[in-house]
Amino acid sequence: MDRTNGKHGVPPATAGGRLLLVSNRLPVTAVVDAAGVRVEPSTGGLATGLRGPHQRSESLWIGWPGDLPKLRARRRAELDEQLAAMRCVPVHLSKTEIRRFYDDISNGVLWPLFHYLLDQLPQDARGWESYRQVNQKFADEVAAHYRPGDLIWIHDYHLMLLPQMLRDRLPAANIGFFLHIPFPSSEVFSVLPWREEILEGLLGADLVGFHTPPYLRHFATSLRRVLGVDVDVDRVLREGREVRLGVFPMGIDASGWENRGQDPEVQRRAEEIRSEGRGQKLLVGIDRLDYTKGIPRRLLAIERLFETDPELREQVRVVQVTVPSREKAGPYAEFRKRIDELVGRINSTYGTPGWVPIHSLHRSLSEEEVAALYRAADVMLVTPLRDGMNLVSKEFVATRTDRDGVLVLSEFAGAASELGEALQVNPYDVEHMAARIRQALLMPAMERRSRMRALRLRVMSHDADRWSQSFLDAMLRIRREMHARETGPAEDAFHAAARLREQAQLLLILDYDGTLMPFADTPDAAQPDEELVELLAELAARKGTRVHVVSGRSRQSMERWLGHLPIGLHTEHGLWSRLRPEEPWTLLRPVQPRLKDKVRPIFEHFTSTTRGSFIEEKTASIAWHYRLATGEFTGDNDFGEQQAKELRLLLAELLSNEPMQVISGAKVVEVRPMGVNKGTVAPLLLADAGTAARVVAIGDDRTDEDLFMALPPSALCMRVGDGPSVATYRLADPQEVRTFLRGLLSPSAVEKEAAAV
Q: What is the CATH number of the domain that holds 431?
A: 3.40.50.2000
Residue 421 has pLDDT above 50, yes or no: yes
- Which stretches does DSSP call E strand in 26-173? 28-33, 36-41, 60-64, 88-90, 151-155
The reply to whether 484 falls in a domain is: no
Q: How does strand 423-425 pair with strand 406-410? A: parallel
Structural domain that includes position 105? 93-248
pLDDT at 755: 54
Q: How does strand 60-64 pair with strand 88-90? A: parallel
Give 328-370 pLDDT, tens digit per residue. 556 778 899 999 999 999 999 999 999 999 999 999 999 999 9
Give 441-494 pLDDT, tens digit per residue. 999 999 999 999 999 999 999 999 999 999 999 999 888 776 654 433 334 677
413 three-class SS: strand
Under 8 Å between Cβ of 250 and 210: no
pLDDT at 486: 43
Which of 637, 653, 673 is a domain's end point?
673
- Which stretches does DSSP call E strand in 542-626? 545-550, 568-571, 576-578, 586-587, 614-617, 622-625
pLDDT at 748: 59
Same structural domain, 238 and 269: no
Mean pLDDT lowest among 48-57, 217-226, 506-515, 631-640: 631-640
Residue 656 has pLDDT above 70, yes or no: no
Read off the amino acid at residue 182: P
The reply to whether 24 falls in a domain is: no
pLDDT at 328: 59
**548: phi then psi, degrees, rounded to nearest 5:** -130, 135
Give CA angle at 267 (263, 268), nearest 5°.
115
Average pLDDT over every residue of 105-129? 93
490 three-class SS: coil
Q: Give the CATH number, domain containing residue 708.
A: 3.40.50.1000
User: What is the overall mean pLDDT for the chain?
Assistant: 88
Mean pLDDT lowest among 99-113, 220-234, 367-381, 656-670: 656-670
- At 560, which helix (H) or strand (E)? helix 555-562
Which position has the higher pLDDT, 52 or 222? 222
pLDDT at 636: 60
Q: Give the CATH number, domain containing residue 648.
A: 3.90.1070
- At 83, which helix (H) or strand (E)? helix 73-85
Task: Output the CA–CA distances (angstroms, integers) from residue 277 to 274, 325, 404, in the order listed.
Answer: 5, 29, 18
205 three-class SS: coil
Same structural domain, 547 and 683: yes
**Length of the chain, in residues:** 757
Residues 144-163 as b/e (b if ≥16 CB within 10 A, e otherwise) read eebeeebbbbbbbbbbbbbb
Nearest C-alpha neighbor of 676 from the set 560, 567, 592: 592
Residue 506 has pLDDT above 60, yes or no: yes
User: Which listed residue (511, 513, 704, 706) is catalytic?
Assistant: 511
Nearest C-alpha neighbor of 382 from the set 364, 367, 362, 396: 396
**731: phi then psi, degrees, rounded to nearest 5:** -115, 150
The reply to whether 36 falls in a domain is: no
pLDDT at 11: 43
Under 8 Å between Cβ of 490 and 679: no
Which of 652, 673, 694 is a domain's end point?
673
The reply to whether 641 falls in a domain is: yes
Q: What is the C-alpha radius of gyration for the chain, rounded to an integer number of angstroms?
A: 30
Task: Give the integer Cα–Cα distance in Å for 408 and 425.
Answer: 7
Task: Give the integer Cα–Cα distance in Å for 196 and 573.
Answer: 37
Task: Give the integer Cα–Cα distance in Å for 697 and 547.
Answer: 10
Mean pLDDT lowest among 63-72, 240-249, 255-264: 63-72
Give CA angle at 142 (136, 144), nearest 5°.
105
Same structural domain, 171 and 226: yes
**112: phi then psi, degrees, rounded to nearest 5:** -65, -40
Nearest C-alpha neighbor of 438 from the set 343, 316, 332, 526: 316
Q: How many CB atoms lie within 10 A of CB 592?
A: 14
Task: Give the integer Cα–Cα distance in Å for 716 and 500.
Answer: 10
Non-local (6+) Cβ contacts of 432 within 8 A are 425, 426
Same structural domain, 437 and 541: no
281 three-class SS: strand
Residue 439 has pLDDT above 80, yes or no: yes
Percent of the chain exceeding pLDDT 70 equals 92
Under 8 Å between Cβ of 400 and 261: yes
Under 8 Å between Cβ of 1 and 43: no
Under 8 Å between Cβ of 206 and 175: yes
Same structural domain, 444 and 518: no
Same structural domain, 144 and 211: yes
Average pLDDT over every residue of 740-755? 71
pLDDT at 595: 73
Mean pLDDT lowest among 42-46, 311-315, 533-537, 688-692: 42-46
First-residue to last-residue Cα distance in the chain: 65
Nearest C-alpha neighbor of 690 from the set 503, 497, 547, 507: 507
638 backbone φψ class: left, alpha, beta (φ>0; ψ -120 to 50): alpha
Task: Give the integer Cα–Cα distance in Å for 634 and 647.
Answer: 20
Counted domains in the chain: 4
The reply to whether 513 falls in a domain is: yes
pLDDT at 48: 75
Under 8 Å between Cβ of 647 and 618: no
Chain centre to alpha carbon of residue 16:
23
Which of 466, 484, 509 is a domain's end point?
466
Residue 640 has pLDDT above 90, yes or no: no
3-state DSSP: the chain helix, strand, coil percent, rounded to 5?
45, 20, 35
The reply to whether 6 falls in a domain is: no
pLDDT at 359: 97
Under 8 Å between Cβ of 436 and 425: yes
Task: Give the integer Cα–Cα distance in Å for 223 and 116.
Answer: 18
Task: Give the integer Cα–Cα distance in Å for 578 and 570.
Answer: 6
**499: phi then psi, degrees, rounded to nearest 5:** -70, -35
DSSP class of residue 700 equals -
DSSP class of residue 679 equals G
Mean pLDDT lowest among 352-361, 510-519, 721-730: 721-730
Give CA angle at 658 (652, 662), nearest 5°.
40
Residue 187 has pLDDT above 60, yes or no: yes
The reply to whether 72 falls in a domain is: no
Same structural domain, 204 and 348: no
Q: Given strand 694-699, what is the order of strands in its sheet?
A: 586-587, 576-578, 568-571, 545-550, 506-510, 694-699, 716-720, 729-731
What string of H, E and C letters represents the secondary structure of 264-277? HHHHHHHHHHHHHC
Task: Give the integer Cα–Cα distance in Å for 581 and 13.
Answer: 47
Read off the amino acid at residue 177: F
Q: Is 511 a catalytic residue?
A: yes
Same structural domain, 451 and 392: yes
Mean pLDDT lowest among 361-375, 397-411, 612-626, 743-757: 743-757
Task: Give the integer Cα–Cα distance in Å for 754 and 153.
Answer: 47
Same structural domain, 406 and 286: yes
pLDDT at 65: 87
Residue 752 has pLDDT above 90, yes or no: no
**291: phi then psi, degrees, rounded to nearest 5:** -70, -10
Average pLDDT over every residue of 586-602? 82
Same structural domain, 113 and 210: yes
Percent of the chain exceeding pLDDT 90 equals 63
Non-local (6+) Cβ contacts of 583 within 8 A are none
The two counts, helices (H) then strands (E), for the chain are 27, 28
Residue 5 has pLDDT above 60, yes or no: no
The reply to whether 8 falls in a domain is: no
- Angle, helix 702-710 to helix 682-689, in steps of 10 degrees: 50
* Number of Cα atoms under 13 Å in the Cβ half of residue 84: 7
Same structural domain, 318 and 360: yes
Nearest C-alpha neighbor of 583 from the set 615, 629, 548: 548
Under 8 Å between Cβ of 381 and 354: no
Same structural domain, 97 and 198: yes
